[in-house]
Amino acid sequence: MDCIFCKIVNDEIPGQLLLRDEYVCAFRDINPVAPSHVLIVPNKHVDSIDSLSTEDAGLAGKLLLAVKEIARMENIASSGYRVIVNNGVDGHQEVQHLHIHVIGGAPMQHQLG
């Protein structure tokens, strides 16, 4: 499978990772929309939230806990940040490997959608 985020996870595109453990990786978004814009992905290929199975419940928890860890590493835990997961066509998901955007370092716009 030709997946850009699998390549980052597998170090086929070197030098991008901020965090890696057994289950998840984090790296900076190539097109940041704020001073801090990090993507958190499962190490195993999962297309989207919609593709998660009940067996992935633990993995889903690991992804959320990685959000907290990245916020601490990026020094945005106390100032606050936004967490976004785009899903499918209407959600404008461009990369078909589940990823959580963690965006902060400046006040977000109030509006969603």
CB 111, min distance to ligand DGP, A: 17
Q: Does 27 bind ligand DGP (CB under 6 A)?
A: yes
Would you give the DSSP letter of residue 23?
S
Mark whether 101 is an active-site residue: no
| Binding span for ligand DGP by CB under 6 A among 28-36, 40-48, 50-58, 62-70 | 28-36
Selected range binding ligand DGP among 52-60, 68-76, 88-96, 105-113, rule: CB under 6 A:
88-96
Nearest of 44, 54, 53 to residue 99 by alpha carbon: 44
**Residue 30 interacts with ligand DGP (CB under 6 A): yes or no:** yes
Query: Which long-range contacts link 25-34 to residues 24+ away (Cβ below 8 Å)?
Result: 26/66, 26/69, 26/70, 26/102, 29/101, 33/103, 34/103, 34/104, 34/105, 34/106, 34/108
**Contact residues: ligand DGP, CB under 6 A:** 4, 16, 27-31, 86, 92-95
